[in-house]
Amino acid sequence: MVLENQQVEQPVKKKRFFEDDRGNNSSIRLMSFVALLASIIFGLLTILFEREGITPAGGIYITFGFLLAAFAPKTVQKFAENQLEKYKR
């Protein structure tokens, strides 16, 4: 029995890996994760081909491009959200 002045505790929802702080699905986190996996794969391929005597000059640029794509958008998003919060107050 619940009295009027008592509050019923809601079960705490566990935050999943690709969710933001509010519990919404975050496509930018998914995109960053996929870009990180792609940079790891291209980095490994670059190293493996380098051992066989082939010098893949473009592989280094592709690897760094995917690394940049993995971390830069989330950083920019966080900066933009903080600026919006500042103007809302």
The Cα–Cα gap between 89 and 79 comes to: 16
**pLDDT tens by residue, the chain, 89 residues:** 555 666 666 666 666 777 776 777 878 888 989 999 999 999 998 888 776 666 677 788 888 999 999 989 888 888 887 887 777 76
Q: Which among 78, 71, 77, 17 has a CA at the least distance from the CA of 39?
A: 71
pLDDT of residue 37: 95
| pLDDT for the residue numbered 51 | 67
pTM score, whole prediction: 0.67
Cα–Cα distance measured from residue 54 to residue 47, given in angstroms and rounded to the nearest whole number: 10
- C-alpha angle 19/20/24, rounded to 5°? 65
Residues counted in the chain: 89
Please say whether the beta carbons of 4 and 32 come within 8 A. no
